[in-house]
């Protein structure tokens, strides 16, 4: 709730005995009955649980084999609360084939259970960025103090070099297309893209004025033209890494580089864009987001 620093929950008996171990089996077996199905008709069942052993026990009691039970993600991600069941469903769909029957149940104020049958359309959804790809690109944090700082549990001296200025909310609203949408401009005369959008073409021998169209950069890959690591700036995860990115198809922008170690970076390394939190303005309670460059594995 609000700025609570710690998760709060009541005692385990309330969560377990009077909670998930009662609601989830009731929802799952109730839905199976309603659909005239038995556990063996189901390819994958997805339901969250706070404890790995209870998760397995619950599935067994319901009559599912371990192979039918979708991984709980407790070891790879942890308990994510409300999204947990949906993340498990997304992960189940990544391995699903047409005809598979999938059952997904949530846990919160009670339990909702939904039954799905996979169609041929699943093939079109494959090879999109999903749970697997995000898990394979995760970066473990080796420094626990950094984690405490990320969670605002220990005070850290802010760098005097780059104190945050107040969030200009009106500017964020006015320029939301180029901030949130990562939309720049492309010259209609010579085709040169540029970010942020320009009125005057940046190509020296073109000179077109006000002949621009919107051009989206968020879906373009790029290459690192230059980069640096800054140990003195304001960044929760020092060193702050940023660099110039040249986009495929043209255009260049100065961006934070994230999900990487400084010593892994190389000039000309391919990167892709990712929408991330830029900072949190504590005084005004404003979270600010922008696009960052993420190095692609080669
Ligand atoms: Zn031009």
The Å distance, Cα 201 to ligand 1 centre, comes to 5
Amino acid 266: pLDDT:
96
Q: CB-based contacts of 36: which residues, under 8 Å, 6+ apart?
A: none
Instruction: Evaluate if residue 64 carries a pLDDT over 70.
Output: yes
Average pLDDT (188-195) is 95
* Mean pLDDT of the 207-233 span: 95
Q: For residue 109, what pLDDT is reported? A: 84
Task: Tell me which of 8-12, 111-115, 145-149, 229-233 is least confident.
Answer: 8-12
Lowest mean per-residue pLDDT among 18-22, 162-166, 243-247: 162-166
Mean pLDDT within 219-234: 92
Cα of 204 to ligand 1 centre, how many Å? 8
Q: Which of 295, 298, 251, 256 is nearest to 276 (CA)?
A: 256
What is residue 162's predicted lDDT score, i.e. its pLDDT?
Answer: 66
CA 57 to CA 146: how far, in whole Å? 36
How close is the Cα of 274 to the center of ligand 1, in Å? 28
For residue 213, the CA-to-ligand 1 centroid distance in Å is 11
Residue 275: what pLDDT? 95
Write down the pLDDT at residue 31.
Answer: 97
**Residue 60, pLDDT score:** 96
Cα separation, 244 vs 222, in Å, equals: 10
pLDDT at residue 169 above 80? yes
The per-residue pLDDT for 235 is: 78
pLDDT average, residue stretch 67-77: 95
* Ligand 1 center to 270 CA (angstroms): 26
Position 73 scores a pLDDT of 94
Nearest to 145 by CA among 53, 237, 48, 271: 237
Residue 166 has pLDDT above 90, yes or no: no
Distance from residue 273's CA to the centre of ligand 1 (Å):
25
Mean pLDDT computed over 245-270: 94
pTM: 0.75
Mean pLDDT of the region 95-105: 96
């Amino acid at each position: 709730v609000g700025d609570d620093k710690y998760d709060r929950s009541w005692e385990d008996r309330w969560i377990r005995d009077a909670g998930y171990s009662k609601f989830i089996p009731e929802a799952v077996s109730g839905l199976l009955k309603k659909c005239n199905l038995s556990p063996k008709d189901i390819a994958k069942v997805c339901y969250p649980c706070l404890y790995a052993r209870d998760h397995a026990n619950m599935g067994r009691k319901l009559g599912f084999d371990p192979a039918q039970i979708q991984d709980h993600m407790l070891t790879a991600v942890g308990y994510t609360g409300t999204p947990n069941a949906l993340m498990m469903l997304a992960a189940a769909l990544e391995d699903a084939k047409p005809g598979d029957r999938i059952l997904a149940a949530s846990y919160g104020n009670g339990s909702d259970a939904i039954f799905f049958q996979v169609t041929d359309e699943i093939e079109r959804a494959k090879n999109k960025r999903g749970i697997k790809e995000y898990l394979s690109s995760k970066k473990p944090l080796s420094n626990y103090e950094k984690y405490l700082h990320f969670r605002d549990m220990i005070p850290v001296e802010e760098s005097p070099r780059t104190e945050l200025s107040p969030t200009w909310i009106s500017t964020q609203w006015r320029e939301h297309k180029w901030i949130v949408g990562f939309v720049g401009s492309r010259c209609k005369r010579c085709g040169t893209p540029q970010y942020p959008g320009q009125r005057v073409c940046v190509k020296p021998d073109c000179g077109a004025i006000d002949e621009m169209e919107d051009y989206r950069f968020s879906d373009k890959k790029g290459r690192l033209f230059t980069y640096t690591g800054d140990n003195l700036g304001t960044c929760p995860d020092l060193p702050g890494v940023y660099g110039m990115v040249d986009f495929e198809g043209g255009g260049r922008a100065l961006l934070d580089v994230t999900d990487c170690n400084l010593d892994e970076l190389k000039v000309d390394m391919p990167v892709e864009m990712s929408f991330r939190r830029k900072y949190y303005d504590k005084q005004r309670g404003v979270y600010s987001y922008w696009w960052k460059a993420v190095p692609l594995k080669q």
